[in-house]
Amino acid sequence: MPTPRETILAALHARLSALPATVLRGEVLPERVPAEGLLILRDGEPGEPEVTLSPLAYHYQHRAEIEAVVQGAARDIAFDTLTASIGAALAADRTLGGLCDWVEAEAPRPVDLPVEGAASLKAAVIPVVLHYSTADPLG
């Protein structure tokens, strides 16, 4: 049986997979970026939880990361469209079907990356904060 952390990350991956971009989880950047864009979900860091004792509960603000990458001549518009679609997907269900207390993305910091012999990439890491509680930090 998967832990709450894994269940939440899998639900976030499934939510992102509904977007037109190619969505991977924990993979390395492939050699080619699909025309519709690429998203790579990184598990991130759960951080130090706040603890309540009665009943015992660990309250996390887990920081996952989405790497968003586009390539091509119209990469500025493609990047804007891709990041807006991520925001809309998260806003549609801030609890990931009741698995989380709240899901919120932070603003991206895009960078242009030159690629020798090909169109430049536009990429950013988008932090996503997952608020959830669990009875066991390992479970």
The pTM of this model reads: 0.93
pLDDT digits (tens, 9 = 90+) for 107-124: 999 998 888 877 789 999
Portion of the chain with pLDDT greater than 70, in percent:
100
Domains of the chain: 4-46+60-134 (3.30.70.1700)
DSSP letter string over the chain?
---HHHHHHHHHHHHHHTSSSEEEESPPPPSS--TT-EEEEEEEE--PPEEEETTEEEEEEEEEEEEEEEESTTHHHHHHHHHHHHHHHHHH-TTTTTTSSEEEEPPP--EEEEETTEEEEEEEEEEEEEEEEES-TT-
